[in-house]
């Protein structure tokens, strides 16, 4: 049995989880998330103990595969509606900056034109200063995907380290051209 799949998901106070048909619905103080369950798994909710358990219906390969996945997704949904998720990006480079105008993230990262990235609904994006971007939301996948898309616009390069990186990301640096005698 999957070690991750058989672990119980604790449901904190203020968070309500329910299953209607093949849909898992989790509501909390920050919002509401839904997930369509795979037919090979089922979810049992114990409101008295405040736990959620994912069970698989058989021992088929697909059932074993989605067992742990469904439990991890359910745990992320519970954490998202209670605490939320956050990714921080750092912009490194002379003249590189970010700004937000309405629902568009504007980036000047060394190209001839300013890059415009539309912020998806369900995310809060803030720029505390011109070289930092904070992405917050209740859906872990959406937060991570948007952060990865923004980072991919100008990945940190290995010689000077210029570009967009995650906060506290270690960028491997290379030596430049060697000076000959």
What domains does the chain contain, in order, with CATH numbers?
9-82 (3.90.930.12), 85-166 (3.90.930.12)
* pTM score: 0.90
Q: How far is CA 93 from CA 63, 85, 113, 149, 180, in A?
A: 48, 27, 16, 19, 28
Q: What is the pLDDT confidence band of residue 177, given thresholds at 50, 70 and 90?
A: confident
Residue with tokens 């970010």: 98
Q: How confident is the model at residue 1 (pLDDT cuts 50, 70, 90)?
A: low
Backbone angle region of 148, left / alpha / beta, with phi > 0 → left and psi within -120 to 50 → alpha: alpha
Query: For residue range 118-167, what is the model confidence (pLDDT) as tens digits?
Result: 999 999 999 999 999 999 999 999 999 999 999 999 999 999 999 999 99
């Amino acid at each position: 049995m999957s070690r991750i799949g058989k672990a119980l998901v604790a449901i904190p106070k203020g968070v309500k989880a329910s299953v209607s048909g093949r849909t898992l619905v989790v509501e909390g103080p920050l919002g509401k998330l839904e997930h369509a369950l795979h037919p090979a798994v089922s979810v049992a909710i114990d409101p008295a103990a405040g736990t959620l358990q994912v069970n698989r219906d058989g021992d088929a390969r697909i059932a074993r595969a989605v067992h742990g996945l469904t439990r991890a997704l359910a745990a992320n949904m519970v954490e998202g509606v209670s605490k939320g998720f956050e990714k921080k990006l750092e912009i490194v480079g002379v003249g590189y900056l970010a700004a937000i105008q309405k629902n568009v993230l504007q980036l000047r990262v060394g190209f001839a034109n300013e890059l415009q990235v539309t912020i998806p609904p369900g995310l809060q994006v803030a720029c505390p200063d011109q070289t930092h971007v904070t992405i917050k939301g209740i859906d872990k996948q959406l937060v991570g995907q948007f952060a990865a898309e923004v980072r991919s616009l100008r990945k940190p390069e290995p010689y000077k380290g210029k570009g967009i990186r995650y906060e506290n990301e270690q960028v491997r640096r290379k030596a430049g051209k060697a000076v000959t005698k």
